[in-house]
Amino acid sequence: MPRELPQTPDYDAWPIEADLETVSFSPRLVAVRWDDGRESRYHGIWLRENAADESTVNPATRERILDLSTLPGWPEITGAEIDDAGALCVTFAPEDRRLRFHPGWLRAHDYDNAVDPEAPPVPVTTWQGGPGEGPDSLDAVGLLDTEAGGEAEEAILAPALESVLGKGLVRLRGLPTRPGSLEAIARRIGPLRPTNFGLLFDVKAKPDPDSNAYTAIALPPHVDLPTREYQPGLQMLHCLENSVEGGEAVMLDGFAVAEALRERHPEAFATLTRVRWCYANTARTTDYVWYAPMIRLDERGELLEVRIADFLRGPLQAPFAEVESAYEALMTLQAMLREPVFAIRFTYRPGDLVIFDNRRLLHARDAFEGSKGHRWLQGCYMERDEIRSRYRMILRARRQRRLTGEA
C-alpha cells in the first residue's frame, strides 16, 4: 500500500498541481523537475528549517521549535529521492535525519521561480469616482443566519472581502438594524479593535460632542484616528436610521489621489512622503498625538497608507526650512481632494453596512438638518490583518474542499 503524503508545517491544504518527476542534489542544494517541466531548487538549510516533523515543529500548534544554531553543524544533504507517495525525501547530515516534504507545499513555496511572496491576496486596484458612481454593493440578507465558516457565509463574505482588499471599499445591504448587531456582523470577519470611542461608537448628532463626527456639520475627506501610532486598518459604518435631509456620504480612494499627485506634482508628493505632520486629538479626557508623513510608502515604493485629516492636525513641527514647502504641498493636495472626479457619493439606507480600508480610503459627509429626522450610524474598527486572515481562511476552505472532492 502506498504511503500517505507527509503533513505540512502549517494547517493549510496544498493541492498538488504537478508531480515531482526527478531529483538531484549536492551537499547544500536539492534540484527537482516537475512533470509539467518546471525546475525548482531548494537550499538544504531552507528545507531543514521548514520540515514538518516533530523535531522541527510542535505537531499540536504547527509552530517551529527548531533552533538552527543548536544543530551539530550546517545541515548538509547526503541523499534525496521521491518516494512512492510522491513526497520529496531528504537525508541530512550530521543529524543523519531523513525528512519528507509534501509536493503541493513545496510547489506553493517555490522561491526559485518568479513568484512575489508579498503579493497581496487580491490585486490592489485604484479607482476614481464621478457622477453616478458608487461603491461595490452586495446583498447580505441573512448573513447572521448562516453558519459561521460555512459555504453560505462564504458566498456573501468572499466577494465582499475581495472588494475591500482590492478597491478598499464595499457596501453590504439588507442587514439587520438592531442596535449592536454590528458587533456580531463584524466578528464574522475577526476581532474588533476598541478605542477611546468604545468597541462600537454611535455616529449621530448629540449634545456636548467630543468629535466633529457627532455633530450635523459637514466633514471634509479624512481617515479616522491618524493620531495613533498604528491607525486602525479597517472601519465599518452600519446605518440603523436615516431620515434626515442631507448627510450624503462621500468617499475617495486616497491611493488614486496620491498617485495623481505623484504624476502631476512630483515635488509635492515627495514632500508629503517626507515631512512628518503632527496629528493630535486632545479631548477633555484623552490626549493622543502622533507624528507621521501624510503619504507613506513601503520599502518597494508602493503606497502603504495615507494620513489625511485636516481637523486632526496639530501645529506643524517641521524643520524651519521645510515649513513653506510643506504647506504648499498640503494645499496642492487639498485642492485635488475637491475635484469631483475622485469622489463617489451615496445615501445610507437603513441596513447598509460600509466596510472600508481606513489607511487608504478617505470618507466625508455633507452637512445635514439636525433638528428634523434621525441619522444614526454605528461604527467599529478592526485591523487589515483580520480581513486578510479571514480571506485566506476562505481560500483554505476552498482548497480543502478540492482535496476532499466536495467542490
Higher-pLDDT residue of 93 and 374 is 93
Inter-axis angle of helices 254-264 and 323-337, nearest 10:
120
Q: Tell me the three-class secondary structure of 375-405, residue by residue.
A: EEEEEEEECHHHHHHHHHHHHHHHHHHHHHC
> For 116-155, how does the pLDDT look when each residue is reduced to its tens digit (9 = 90+)?
878 888 999 999 998 888 999 999 999 999 998 899 999 9
Residue pointed to by grid coordinates 531528504: 90
Check: pTM over 0.75? Answer yes or no. Answer: yes
Q: Is residue 285 predicted with pLDDT exceeding 90?
A: no
The CA distance from 137 to 382, in Å, is 21
Give the residue, 216 or 169, on which the prediction is more confident.
Answer: 169
Task: State the pLDDT at residue 106.
Answer: 97
Q: What is the pLDDT averaged over residues 46-64?
A: 96
pLDDT band, very low/low/confident/very high, at 2 (cuts 50, 70, 90): low
Query: What is the DSSP pairing of strand 88-93 with strand 295-297?
Result: unpaired
The values of phi and psi at residue 358, to 5°, are -75, -10
What gap in Å lies between CA 402 and CA 59, rounded to an integer? 24
Looking at residue 117, its pLDDT comes to: 79
What percent of the chain is predicted at pLDDT more than 90?
Answer: 83
Q: Nine-digit cell at 189?
A: 470577519
pLDDT category of residue 406 using cuts at 50, 70 and 90: low
CA 385, 389, 390, 392 torsion-angle sign: positive
pLDDT value of residue 120: 86
Residue 280: predicted pLDDT: 95
Please give the Cα distance from 58 to 121 (Å, whole number).
27
- Give me the sign of the Cα torsion angle 192, 193, 196, 202: negative
**How many C-alpha atoms does 253 have within 13 Å on its Cβ side?**
25
Residue 82 φ/ψ, nearest 5 degrees:
-105, 125
The predicted model gives 91-113 an average pLDDT of: 96
Kindly state the helix (H) or strand (E) to which residue 39 belongs, with its residue range: strand 39-43
Q: What pLDDT band is residue 156 in, cutting at 50, 70 and 90?
A: very high
Query: How do residues 175-231 score in pLDDT, each as one tens digit?
Result: 999 999 999 999 999 999 999 999 999 998 777 777 777 887 889 999 999 999 999
pLDDT digits (tens, 9 = 90+) for 370-390: 667 788 999 999 999 999 999
C-alpha cell at 68: 538552527
Spatial distance between the Cα atoms of 296 and 182, rounded to a whole number of angstroms: 31
Provide the phi-psi class of 194: left if phi over 0, else alpha when psi is between -120 and 50, else beta: beta
Predicted confidence (pLDDT) at residue 65 exceeds the cutoff of 80 = yes
User: Could you give the percent of the chain with pLDDT greater than 70?
Assistant: 98
Q: Higher model confidence: residue 210 or residue 90?
A: 90
Segment 329-338 mean pLDDT: 97
Identity at 260, one-letter amino acid code: A
Cell of 62: 504547527
- The SS3 call for residue 220 is strand
Rounded to an integer, the average pLDDT of 330-339 is: 97
Cβ neighbour number for residue 70 with a 10 Å cutoff: 6
Q: Is the dihedral of CA 202, 204, 209, 212 positive or negative?
A: positive
Residue 1 has pLDDT above 60, yes or no: no
Q: What structural domains does the chain harbor?
A: 20-117 (3.30.2020.30), 137-393 (3.60.130.10)
Mean pLDDT across 333-361: 97
